[in-house]
């Protein structure tokens, strides 16, 4: 997926979020979009970041470590780990992610 397509998709989602928030009387800027970037390359994360997204979610630690390293220069990027956590991976997850969403 090229950068223009990614930017267009983000613009469409942002508009839908804005409309939904306003419909229920909520300020659109209080809604945070979390882009799940698993299976997408670091270049796609960079394109999404350039289009305004700042929060990215992953559920494969090894893939995420590579992506996090490849995007370390992006100031303001936030990484979320999504899903179950194996006990042998807790330290690495704590070291690399800003947020953890797990049950």
**What pLDDT digit, counting tens, does each position of 68-87 carry?**
999 999 999 999 999 999 99
pTM here is 0.92
- CATH assignment of the domain containing 80: 3.20.20.10
Residues 39-54: tens digit of each pLDDT? 999 999 999 999 999 9
How many domains, the chain?
Answer: 1
Measured in residues, the chain has a length of 103
- Domain range for 30 is 3-101
* Dist CA 58 CA 45 (whole Å): 11
């Amino acid at each position: 997926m090229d950068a223009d397509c990614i930017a267009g998709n983000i613009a469409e989602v942002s508009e839908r979020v804005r409309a939904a928030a306003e419909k229920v009387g909520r300020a659109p800027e209080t809604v945070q979009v979390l882009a799940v970037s698993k299976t997408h390359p670091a270049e796609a994360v960079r394109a999404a970041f350039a289009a305004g997204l700042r929060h990215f979610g992953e559920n494969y630690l090894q893939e995420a470590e590579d992506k996090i390293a490849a995007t370390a220069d992006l100031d303001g990027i936030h990484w979320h780990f999504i899903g179950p956590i194996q006990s042998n991976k807790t330290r690495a997850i704590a070291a690399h992610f800003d947020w953890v969403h797990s049950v």
